[in-house]
Structure 1
Amino acid sequence: MTERTAPSAGPADDAVKQRAALLRSMTLTRMLDYGMDHWDATQLVGAPATQAWDEVAAGLAEAQLARATTAVEHGNIETAVSCYRRAAAALVAAQMAYNFDNAAKRWLYARMSQAYQDAARLDTDMHIERLEVPYKSSHCNAWFLRPRTDRPAPPVIIVGGQSGWGPAYHRQARALVRRGLSAVLLEAPGQGETRIVNGLHLDEHADEAFSATLDAVRERTGFAGPSGVWGNSFGGLIAARAALHDSRFAACCVNGAPARPEPAPFRTAGEQSQALLGVSSDDEVAAVFRTLWIDPATDRTSAAVLVLHGGADPLIALDQQRAFLDLSADSSLRVWEDGEHTIYNHSAERTDFVGDWFRHRLSDGLLTTKPTS
């Protein structure tokens, strides 16, 4: 696919439109869910349209990185870890300025990954390891988080969608680790460095990357018990497909995904779809999307399935998610009536609810008994 760059700066009204599009995608609640500092997030939201989104967000990240360096020099390791993670979250927001891969997006994403790695190196609460999962002719990038104990920790693979990837879901992973589980922040084909650096794109075989990730975890830990998979936004679809094709997944959470995706009618999502799949037209997007559709009439999983839905989600209607409930004899639905896309505006409650659900399904050995909610 030919490399593309963001449009050059245009008239003031174009800048206003670009910022409005970014704010529709990268809402304040989404930034906070991804771990961005509240003050930083409000500064980015309130910045004038004439200031480039990525430059403002990167500047906020640099300030956090400077704080982290000072904290290390004074032996304040906990503060350093927090600042590195806030910087990483700000850089996630920064790279959102570019839907297609270019030099600026690669630089911002690499800077984000390094900030997350710096936090991981200092973290005394969890063991965090960077993984390279063999896939096709290259590999998928991932982060493996687990408790600092010898107790077996069932893994849950967490995956995002068309624009939110990897370290953006650190808070979800941390919630699982606190519950005695382990977590893998997988950048699946078409996502994050797996795409930006390694050149891999999403297709109908992406479920194989999830199976390869379980193999990599088992190689490191010896754990051969039941595992989970948690997909957010478009990632919910590929998480469900992973559970359909690998019986080691005993629990699957789908959070705000279409069971039968179609090309989006607006530019930002359309460009993100093209970048995800490595194609250059809506017709090609539609063709690949059709290979990803699920059909409960023929697709079945033994995994327990949990579907999350936001009643105020502007992107995904509940009817688009109902098919996931029909994939398993053991399925349940949780709706937040005022919930935004992937429940950004109830992120703490959402994450606790899902964390508890996975713990009951995987750690307690109660694979057929649902926890009370």
Structure 2
Amino acid sequence: MFQYFPGNYMWSLAVMRCLASGGHFGEIHWALQDLQDAAKVAPQGDNEAWHAAWKRLAVQVEGIGREALQQGKNETAASALMRAAHYWQWAEAFIAPDDDRAASSYEHHLACFRDAGRLLPNKIEVVQVPFGDTSLFAYFVKAEGTSGPAPAVILSDGLDGTKEEMVLMAQALAARGISCLAVDNPGQGASLRLNGLKARHDSEVAAGAAYDYLKSRAEIVDPNRVGLIAASMGGYYAPRAVAFEKRIKACVAWGAIYDYHAVWVRRLNLKPGASATVDYRAALGTTGKHLLNIVGATDFDEALRKFEPFTLKGIAHQISCDILLVHGEDDKQTPLSDAEKLYREIGSSNKELRVFTRAEGGASHVQLDRQEPAVSLIADWMVDHL
């Protein structure tokens, strides 16, 4: 994967994630070009400088969008506000969750995305999915070129990923006649930040709630043709969900994970009998404080205990729907061996493992080094299997 900040995987990964969501390289480079020294500050970079640079960019681009909206220039407004939404996300990403600036940045992020979504030719609808006595925040994107009930896909991201990062996948599916429900599951995005829902291992509960929501929209959704795509940590969530939620017809694990507890034992450089500490040389996508907030832990030992049930051992054989695992040969966060082990244990008679190699590009985590071929592959696979 291209490292904009050599030696700082977390910051470099964030740049690539923003680009994959729809950020523009020229704007991002304008904002970050003077942060090379800040990126070298131990242990994970000067996150105050990071916040200031992304906020400066977000404020400027949001201003372009708001001015265009006032002038009735809706295409310019939609484009600028959507980019600003992604820039606000990264302004918020690495400052402490209890910092007032985090809440303010996140509010701007949601507002820009919401307002951009209303201006798109195929509007992004803001919805809430009933979930026990609360709800999951989500977006609904209707299939294009269809009349009557159409197939639908539930979309979600990973540990610190958000539904907003799945917008390009949603649009790719909608263009192929598939509606999408992009969801912040427990531990993610607005469901974490606004409703206080922490990550949980039993992802079939959230998947079932999302399916029930889609079923309630029977005038435009065919409940017999519902799929599930989840990325990064979603590579655990999605297979776990379909092992138990049998109403889902097809599944894609985009960055497959067999045992998420084992993943974090490696990342935290855990030694037998010693307290867990972060090895900041590892491929980490977020800060320690964010990790603890996502799982509702006070320290890394507690976080590891909470991750113990996040495994597909003894569960993968229960998967019976069509399933595709997509993985990168050089994934620094979850090794290819995890995907291979999961593939071997999946019980479905229709299972596939697609590995992107260095030679073709897309070998990094969720193909962030070259993502378009993977997006098209996954979207086309869903068309064939729903």
TM-score if structure 2 supplies the norm length? 0.83
Candidates 12, 24, 31, aligned match of 2:18: 31
- Residue 217 of structure 2 aligns to a residue whose secondary structure is helix
Candidates 135, 142, 145, aligned match of 1:146: 142
Contact preservation (8 Å) 1:189, 1:201: yes
Partner residue of 2:356?
Answer: 336
Contact preservation (8 Å) 1:92, 1:168: no
More displaced 10-residue stretch of structure 1: 185-194 or 76-85: 76-85
Report matched runs for 1:188-207 at 5 Å: 188-207=185-204
Counterpart Cα distance in 1 of 2:96 and 2:171: 28
Residue 36 of structure 1: how far off its partner (Å): 0.9
Counterpart Cα distance in 2 of 1:109 and 1:98: 11
**Residue 114 in 1 paired to residue 111 in 2?**
yes
Residue 91 of structure 1: how far off its partner (Å): 1.4
Partner residue of 1:98?
Answer: 95
Q: Which runs of 5+ in 1 are unaligned?
A: 1-16, 363-373
Contact preservation (8 Å) 2:250, 2:323: yes
In structure 2, do the counterparts of structure 1 residues 320 and 44 end up closer, same or farther at CA, with 3 Å as the change threshold? Answer: farther
Partner residue of 1:317?
Answer: 335
In structure 2, do the counterparts of structure 1 residues 162 and 204 end up closer, same or farther at CA, with 3 Å as the change threshold? Answer: closer
Residue 201 of structure 1: how far off its partner (Å): 0.7
Partner residue of 1:254?
Answer: 253
Report matched runs for 1:258-277 at 5 Å: 258-262=257-261, 263=264, 264-265=267-268, 266=279, 268=286, 270-277=288-295
Counterpart Cα distance in 1 of 2:217 and 2:123: 12
In structure 2, do the counterparts of structure 1 residues 301 and 127 end up closer, same or farther at CA, with 3 Å as the change threshold? Answer: same
Counterpart Cα distance in 1 of 2:133 and 2:99: 22
CA RMSD of aligned residues (A): 2.2
Residue 206 of structure 1: how far off its partner (Å): 3.2
Q: Tell me the amino acid that sits aligned with residue 133 of structure 2.
A: S
Partner residue of 2:43?
Answer: none
Residue 221 of structure 1: how far off its partner (Å): 3.3
More displaced 10-residue stretch of structure 1: 228-237 or 205-214: 205-214
Partner residue of 1:370?
Answer: none
Report matched runs for 1:114-133 at 5 Å: 114-124=111-121, 126-133=122-129
Partner residue of 2:371?
Answer: 347
Contact preservation (8 Å) 1:129, 1:144: yes
Residue 297 of structure 1: how far off its partner (Å): 6.3
Counterpart Cα distance in 2 of 1:81 and 1:168: 16
**Residue 217 in 1 paired to residue 214 in 2?**
yes
Q: Tell me the amino acid that sits aligned with residue 243 of structure 2.
A: L
In structure 2, do the counterparts of structure 1 residues 99 and 159 end up closer, same or farther at CA, with 3 Å as the change threshold? Answer: farther
For each residue in 1:317-342, what CA deviation from the matched residue of structure 2 results, as whole angstroms up to 9, or x when unmatched? 11112243232221111111121111
Residue 110 of structure 1: how far off its partner (Å): 1.6
Counterpart Cα distance in 2 of 1:99 and 1:34: 23
**Residue 47 in 1 paired to residue 37 in 2?**
no
Counterpart Cα distance in 1 of 2:314 and 2:353: 16
Counterpart Cα distance in 2 of 1:258 and 1:99: 27
- Residue 352 of structure 2 aligns to a residue whose secondary structure is strand
Candidates 286, 290, 304, aligned match of 2:322: 304
Residue 42 of structure 1: how far off its partner (Å): 1.6
For each residue in 1:91-148, what CA deviation from the matched residue of structure 2 results, as whole angstroms up to 9, or x when unmatched? 1221222364432222211211111100111122x13211211223321111111135
Residue 154 of structure 1: how far off its partner (Å): 1.4
Residue 276 of structure 1: how far off its partner (Å): 1.7
Contact preservation (8 Å) 2:240, 2:315: no
In structure 2, do the counterparts of structure 1 residues 67 and 275 end up closer, same or farther at CA, with 3 Å as the change threshold? Answer: same
Q: Tell me the amino acid that sits aligned with residue 163 of structure 1.
A: D
Partner residue of 1:159?
Answer: 156
Contact preservation (8 Å) 2:32, 2:53: no
Contact preservation (8 Å) 1:228, 1:250: yes
For each residue in 1:218-238, what CA deviation from the matched residue of structure 2 results, as whole angstroms up to 9, or x when unmatched? 212343212111111111211
Report matched runs for 1:170-189 at 5 Å: 170-189=167-186
TM-score if structure 1 supplies the norm length? 0.86
**Residue 20 in 1 paired to residue 8 in 2?**
yes
Contact preservation (8 Å) 1:62, 1:87: yes
Number of residue pairs matched? Answer: 343
Contact preservation (8 Å) 2:244, 2:318: no
Q: Which runs of 5+ in 2 are unaligned?
A: 39-45, 269-278, 281-285
- Residue 345 of structure 1 aligns to a residue whose secondary structure is coil
Counterpart Cα distance in 2 of 1:193 and 1:101: 15
Partner residue of 1:357?
Answer: 381
In structure 2, do the counterparts of structure 1 residues 123 and 336 end up closer, same or farther at CA, with 3 Å as the change threshold? Answer: same
**Residue 282 in 1 paired to residue 306 in 2?**
no
Contact preservation (8 Å) 1:161, 1:234: yes
Counterpart Cα distance in 2 of 1:297 and 1:93: 35
Residue 153 of structure 1: how far off its partner (Å): 2.3
